[in-house]
């Protein structure tokens, strides 16, 4: 189909849309286009997930305002259907790809899911289809992986773009509607059609670009955050060594214009920040670019759980044979998301040291038991995730349960003076001030 015809079908919303991958990005995207009146078919390999969606039920756990209602609405209207069979995509005019793109232990992106999706799509997609990769990919992937895979099967007869997403757990619908997007096209004309497409659902700016620019924007923005967090963590370590309070230092640094120092903490988890810097750094592997800051920042952040272990060991004179309670297993406050959990790394470190570990997390089913029962006989409790409910614990009861009243605050959640008055020994990450 000529681009001009596709443009018209997008404008009158008669274009038929397919979405491959109905996870925390693909499902809300599919539902938002369906809500605007497009006929949308979603494909996922998980038949239970497909079944749930076709019943109008959201398979996504956690608090996602508006998502469950939106899915019920668009499934009831018949605008959104889900399937496991790629043949449902053969009549699609636009296909979005939202599959996972993890990195392996050597920090190299694994594209198994992406390649399988592309091969399955290439086998059935019709001439003139617009294929858009929304997954986060290493810069260069569109040219070196995506285009060749599609061309092998389909020759030249398709349009190709990438449009990275900016969703965040707990804000899926909100971010997809209100955050700007970059659309990278195989040509300026394709980017123009992509802009029109996303303007149907995005209320913010949609910026046109080429593939490499769109790939870089996404990986750079998350690498930027990782480097900023690493800086805050390194300042915290310096403050400990200097007997200062990083939280007071940070408060005063931020009074200087353009110094928005981020938060030191017990670790950096999640599915974006720990991964995307490696996607960016890997893009230039083998080229004449000496990438030093990005891996260094990753090293600082990934080792913060080990620093929490050191705080425990220094305070207890070692943790072997001691019982330690970890407060928080999710990577982010008030979330049930445990991907790349810093607590999981600390758990492994503690066990290697011969400690006994109890874990509490109100949002994670496996760990949402009675906190005070878990605290029984513990020589220390380490706050790893700043869940709101940890702010106002029954500290008298907690103290009565513990064998030794040591608290390590990895997220600057607790009032240092109040807890000392309550009889606790409090060690706050980054704060060794008197």
Interhelix angle 47-54/67-76, rounded to 10 degrees, is 70
Give the side-chain half-sphere CA count within 13 A for 328: 29
Cβ proximity to ligand SAJ, 146 vs 229, nearer residue: 229
Q: Which of 163, 239, 272, 378 is catalytic?
A: 272
Q: How far is the CB of 267 from ligand SAJ (least distance, A)?
A: 6
Give the side-chain half-sphere CA count within 13 A for 243: 1
Cβ proximity to ligand SAJ, 75 vs 272, nearer residue: 272
User: Binding string, 221-240, against ligand SAJ, x = CB under 6 A?
Assistant: xx--x---x-----------
**Residue 110: DSSP 8-state:** P
Of 318-377, binders to ligand SAJ (CB under 6 A) are 331-332
What is the full DSSP assignment across 333-358? TT----TT-HHHHHHHHHHHTT-EEE
Contact criterion met (CB below 8 Å) for 378 and 352? no
Of 241-280, binders to ligand SAJ (CB under 6 A) are 262-263, 265, 268-270, 272-273
Contact criterion met (CB below 8 Å) for 294 and 223? yes
Q: How far is the CB of 185 from ligand SAJ (least distance, A)?
A: 21
The CB-nearest residue to ligand SAJ is 270
Q: How far is the CB of 131 from ligand SAJ (least distance, A)?
A: 21
Task: Give the residue, chosen from 154, 168, 196, 204, that forms a contact with ligand SAJ under the rule CB under 6 A.
Answer: 168
**Residue 103: DSSP 8-state:** B
Q: Cα 255 vs. chain centroid, distance in angstroms? A: 30
Cβ proximity to ligand SAJ, 83 vs 138, nearer residue: 138
Q: How far is the CB of 217 from ligand SAJ (least distance, A)?
A: 11
Task: Give the number of residues in contact with ligand SAJ, rule: CB under 6 A.
Answer: 18
Cβ proximity to ligand SAJ, 190 vs 343, nearer residue: 343
Q: Which of 79, 195, 218, 275 is catalytic?
A: 218
CA angle centred on 91, ends 87 and 97, rounded to 5° = 70
Q: How far is the CB of 160 from ligand SAJ (least distance, A)?
A: 22
Backbone angles phi, psi at 406, to 5 degrees: -105, 130
Q: How far is the CB of 384 from ligand SAJ (least distance, A)?
A: 9
> Is 272 an annotated catalytic residue?
yes
| Bridge partners (DSSP) listed for residue 323 | 356
> For residue 233, what are the CA distances in angstroms to 268, 292, 296, 386?
10, 17, 12, 16
Cβ proximity to ligand SAJ, 38 vs 331, nearer residue: 331
Cβ proximity to ligand SAJ, 31 vs 176, nearer residue: 176
Binding of ligand SAJ at residue 169 (CB under 6 A)? yes
Cβ proximity to ligand SAJ, 198 vs 331, nearer residue: 331
> Is 378 an annotated catalytic residue?
no
Q: How far is the CB of 265 from ligand SAJ (least distance, A)?
A: 3
Question: Distance between CA atoms of 71 and 57, rounded to whole angstroms?
Answer: 7
- The H or E element containing residue 325 is strand 323-327
Cross-sheet strand order for the sheet of 129-133 = 80-83, 39-43, 16-20, 94-97, 129-133, 158-162, 181-185, 206-210
Q: Which residues bind to ligand SAJ, rule: CB under 6 A? A: 166-169, 221-222, 225, 229, 262-263, 265, 268-270, 272-273, 331-332
Residues identified as active-site: 218, 272
């Amino acid at each position: 189909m000529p681009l001009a015809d596709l443009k018209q079908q997008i404008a009158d919303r008669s274009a038929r849309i397919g979405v491959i991958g109905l996870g925390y990005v693909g499902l809300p995207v599919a539902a938002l286009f369906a809500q605007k009146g497009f006929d949308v078919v979603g494909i996922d390999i998980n038949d239970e997930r497909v079944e749930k969606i076709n019943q109008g039920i959201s398979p996504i756990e956690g608090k996602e305002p508006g998502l469950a209602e939106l899915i019920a609405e668009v499934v009831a209207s018949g605008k959104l259907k889900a399937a496991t069979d790629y043949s449902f995509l053969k009549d699609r005019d636009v296909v979005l790809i939202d599959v996972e793109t993890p990195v392996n232990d050597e920090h190299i992106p694994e594209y198994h899911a992406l390649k399988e999706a592309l091969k399955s799509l290439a086998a059935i997609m019709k001439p003139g289809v617009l294929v858009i990769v929304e997954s986060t990919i290493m810069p260069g992937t569109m040219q070196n992986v995506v285009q060749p895979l599609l061309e092998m099967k389909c020759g030249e007869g398709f349009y190709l773009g990438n449009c990275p997403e900016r969703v965040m757990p707990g804000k899926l619908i909100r971010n997809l509607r209100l955050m700007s997007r970059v659309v990278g096209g195989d040509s300026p004309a394709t980017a123009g059609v992509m802009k029109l497409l996303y303007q149907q659902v995005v209320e913010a700016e949609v910026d046109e670009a080429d593939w490499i620019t769109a790939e870089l924007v996404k990986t750079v923005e998350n690498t930027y955050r990782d480097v900023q967090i690493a800086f805050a963590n390194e300042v915290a370590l310096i403050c400990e060594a200097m007997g200062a309070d990083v939280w007071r230092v940070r408060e005063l640094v931020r009074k200087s214009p353009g110094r928005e120092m981020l938060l030191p903490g017990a670790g950096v988890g999640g599915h974006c920040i720990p991964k995307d810097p490696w996607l960016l750094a890997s893009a230039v592997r083998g080229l004449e670019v000496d990438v030093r800051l990005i891996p260094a920042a990753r090293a600082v952040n990934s080792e913060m759980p080990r620093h929490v272990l050191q705080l425990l060991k220094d305070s207890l004179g070692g943790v072997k044979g001691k019982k330690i309670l970890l407060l928080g297993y999710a990577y982010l406050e008030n979330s049930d998301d445990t991907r790349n959990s810093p607590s999981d790394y600390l758990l492994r470190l503690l066990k290697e040291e011969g400690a006994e570990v109890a874990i509490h997390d109100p949002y994670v089913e496996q760990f949402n038991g009675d906190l005070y029962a878990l605290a029984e006989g513990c020589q220390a409790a380490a706050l790893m995730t700043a869940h709101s409910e940890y702010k106002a614990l029954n500290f008298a009861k907690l103290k009565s349960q513990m064998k030794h009243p040591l608290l390590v605050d990895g997220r600057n959640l607790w009032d240092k003076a109040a807890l000392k008055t309550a009889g606790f020994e409090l060690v706050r990450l980054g704060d060794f001030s008197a």
